[in-house]
Structure 1
């Protein structure tokens, strides 16, 4: 995603509350349906699909909407609201046919216009939608962006977009439309699972291209649940089962999303039985949760990839042999065991195991622990006598930095110091300005389950989150060949070849792959969290 604004994230403890609602006895909350499951979340940033990029917001929307496609067990897209999603032989023109008879929870029919209106709104630059870049593969996207004809960043030079709708979107019939991309992309169907590609009913708009002011507080979707009441900010979002939903039926009658601002409070409510599911249990509570929850403490893979970025623009780290040696100096498995209690997985690749085409040891030569070889290589390459590891303080326990530095010092005989920054944005700003930061701890989550979702933004020469100055024309070429391949298998092969170049250049040091660490009450079962960190609201059920 060369196109996206930087989206590198800190793995902050998330969540959580301001008021309490019992889950076994709803007490005074008579509006709560029987057989309702209570789930803790943090406050969503937004609930307009094209403006929602946070995990909590996406979780809420995924219960209100049915996407065009879902994924099978191998992360391949399969039709959901779509009857079919098919590409022409070039993989540039895609035809989407909707299942007949679909409706929104307010009774409006789901039509091709429901998608075209929503996507055009999201892509139009002056609307300032957080997920606007998700549409940038569609032909005409650039014409919807605010232009700066003089090349000056000052606001006085900004010109209106050349168009208000995407040239690449064409209505074929009431339930079918085509999407023409600016360039072929065999993986486009996978993007259609994201909330940015949800439809919107006519009720969402007060005028063409204008979202009604009250809609975000009472979102109307086409999914298995519908809002009961509205979004009570800082408190809760209540949902009940949507009648007439044609997809798989929920096993419960309602969902109550309980909003927290402190993970410890949320955990206390889980233990007390006041909520049924905590989707993210903080690492510092894992020992207690093991005792309190037993088998109800669970984990599953997510798409988070944690790594150390090198400031390649600085002479100390310009030599690949220095970068390789530092990678060999780290005992990833020992760090996972000692600091993360086995809740994360040691990384020996540049992409997550949750995406098709992942190879477990694509970085094996330089991602294993070999202190003797590391020391020899480091000295021969003239590595610096001291390094700094910069990190944001909300990215997990400081102890992992201490362990990392001890390992590097023991392996290479150099000084290693951790440098914490309170605000990740400040730290990223320093990197973008090419200020000295040393190695920097970063984390990435996929937008869709494709190798490209990791490779392009992080390592392409113009990658949106390539903050460390890596550039390899051969890598860029293979990445482009994969993106333009007419078939998914061909694309994967080219992307794997591109990853092989990373294993030699080592622009970053892979450290860990993330896991969802979650818990549930005795009142529910069949609780699962997917690689996008969202609970399966169709699978969860009440006991008895």
Structure 2
């Protein structure tokens, strides 16, 4: 008999990259091991307050979970193995990894009835890529020809164009994309929500549609986003894509902490919690049994350092801070040993991950840390540590790090700067922080390149840049397979040598759900919970 409890799908370190230089045709979406339940019903998901709900404006995992139901991107990642497959597109092709032809599914509409066309994608991408708009996903479009004209490097210079030269609408369902240089992993990039289409009303008035987005996905917004309370989605009856929604309605209930959300899950007030606090893992395992899951993750935590601050511009200071941190002790005390101390910049489920890439720099050695710290001249002034209030464990591990830096390095004055994610993100993006900060990276697709480009993009939060690093990433982008991985690993070595981001630990995702829902599919990528597949026991 087929089990009725939800099935959670994951990946392994042998995850394959299946990008080709020829063409990719349509495939069926990945399926769980349990047969689909009956359609209909309503279920609820615990969520932290998002920052935006317009795809191009956000990289927040809280926002992206909602957008996963509202929008169909050109491509998607199979939750079984991470392979890229078409979604809003039907195929893509290239002969040189530079000029790509994308063909979109005909006959689909936005939630307001407007037809989804190739121009809908081009307009959305142009809006995100146009520098003066200030959208968070701007750099995701830097691979496309003409990006510099929309984002002049000279301070105070005005853009000389509003549209990417590399985008050409060939007909209603065909878009030609010309990149600045060969990029073999471009189809994977197309799975990120920033590449979703937008209707004309949204590109004309993005502020209005930031809280009331109009998508092309299996669910549409029901009412408006009620800040700090809830977001409700309902089935889009005119949906013609491949992700047929099972439930009629999804209620996102917004909580200020995961601990509160876990209490609500126990009380039966919410059905799915995708991020059970590590401290509650033993209790969750006991209470939920086979409805509790621990899975390998591509998510990493780092301590970012503002290298433009003279106090942090010496790599020896950064390495000393890293060596003064007891990763194993912190993950044991705060995360019950579920999270793994980081020895690399990338998650261990990623092809090309090296288990000891960081070497002694990421090993706890307080004596060596103090010698290096003193040799570099030490640290003067108040050490301010920035983190969000989304999870109580953030303050717990920041407290541990603060105490270890005081004890091991002799830092005397430490102050916490704790704030809401929606406030912290723009502060860090604009470089207004005066000290180290918590940086999290949720993998978009299974490639070392995603970490390197995602963390070290030009103008990144640390302010660090390196020409040799950039050249190696570019070399990897132009290659495929083992050659690409080798170039990315060399770039990783440079980032670890300079250490603007200190790797801390690799997450292991923990989720739990009520007995009201079944057929739960959660992957370690940006999609997270596949909203369309969940069924409700009726």
1:452–1:186 CA distance, 2 compared to 1 (3 A) = same
Deviation at 1:229? 4.6
Query: Paired residue for 1:454?
Result: 451
> What does 1:49-68 correspond to in 2, within 5 Å?
49-68=55-74
Give the Cα–Cα distance (whole angstroms) in 1 for the partners of residues 318 and 257 of structure 2.
Answer: 38
Q: 5+ residue gaps in structure 1?
A: 1-32, 153-157
Give the Cα–Cα distance (whole angstroms) in 1 for the partners of residues 327 and 471 of structure 2.
Answer: 31
Deviation at 1:472? 4.5
Give the Cα–Cα distance (whole angstroms) in 1 for the partners of residues 426 and 63 of structure 2.
Answer: 25
> Is 2:505 the counterpart of 1:512?
yes
**TM-score calculated relative to the size of structure 1:** 0.76
Query: Paired residue for 1:475?
Result: 469
Q: 5+ residue gaps in structure 2?
A: 1-38
Give the Cα–Cα distance (whole angstroms) in 1 for the partners of residues 272 and 523 of structure 2.
Answer: 14
Query: Paired residue for 2:21?
Result: none
Confirm or deny: 8 A CA contact 2:388 2:418 kept in the other structure: yes
Instruction: Summarize deviations over 1:75-117 as a string: whole Å, max 9, x none.
Output: 342222222222331x221111123444445555432122123
Query: Paired residue for 1:80?
Result: 87
1:389–1:511 CA distance, 2 compared to 1 (3 A) = farther
Confirm or deny: 8 A CA contact 2:150 2:161 kept in the other structure: yes
Deviation at 1:337? 0.8
1:218–1:420 CA distance, 2 compared to 1 (3 A) = closer
Confirm or deny: 8 A CA contact 2:87 2:241 kept in the other structure: no
Confirm or deny: 8 A CA contact 2:320 2:373 kept in the other structure: no
Query: Paired residue for 1:422?
Result: 418
SS in 2 for 1:538: helix
Indicate which of 515, 538, 541 corresponds to 2:535. Answer: 541
Q: Please say which of residues 292-301 and 79-88 is displaced more in the overlay.
A: 292-301
Give the Cα–Cα distance (whole angstroms) in 1 for the partners of residues 132 and 497 of structure 2.
Answer: 42
SS in 2 for 1:476: helix
1:361–1:255 CA distance, 2 compared to 1 (3 A) = same
**TM-score calculated relative to the size of structure 2:** 0.76
Query: Paired residue for 2:177?
Result: 179
> What does 1:96-495 correspond to in 2, within 5 Å?
96-105=102-111, 108-144=114-150, 151-152=155-156, 159=158, 161-201=159-199, 204=201, 210-211=204-205, 219-233=213-227, 234-240=229-235, 242-243=237-238, 245-261=240-256, 263=258, 265-282=260-277, 289=284, 292-309=287-304, 323-324=318-319, 326-370=321-365, 378=372, 381=375, 384=378, 390-392=384-386, 394=388, 396-404=393-401, 414=410, 418-423=414-419, 425=424, 432=431, 437=435, 441-456=438-453, 458-459=455-456, 462-467=458-463, 470=464, 472-483=466-477, 485-487=478-480, 489-495=482-488
> Is 2:86 the counterpart of 1:47?
no
| Structural RMSD (CA) | 3.9
1:448–1:392 CA distance, 2 compared to 1 (3 A) = same
SS in 1 for 2:529: coil
Give the Cα–Cα distance (whole angstroms) in 2 for the partners of residues 131 and 218 of structure 1.
Answer: 19
1:120–1:295 CA distance, 2 compared to 1 (3 A) = same
Confirm or deny: 8 A CA contact 2:46 2:254 kept in the other structure: yes
Give the Cα–Cα distance (whole angstroms) in 1 for the partners of residues 376 and 516 of structure 2.
Answer: 60
Confirm or deny: 8 A CA contact 1:402 1:418 kept in the other structure: no
Larger radius of gyration: 1
Deviation at 1:169? 0.8
Instruction: Summarize deviations over 1:103-161 as a string: whole Å, max 9, x none.
Output: 4455554321221232233334454434333323222233345x798x55xxxxx75x4
Give the Cα–Cα distance (whole angstroms) in 2 for the partners of residues 328 and 373 of structure 1.
Answer: 8
Confirm or deny: 8 A CA contact 2:111 2:236 kept in the other structure: no
Confirm or deny: 8 A CA contact 2:341 2:505 kept in the other structure: yes
How many residues are matched? Answer: 491
Give the Cα–Cα distance (whole angstroms) in 1 for the partners of residues 431 and 56 of structure 2.
Answer: 27
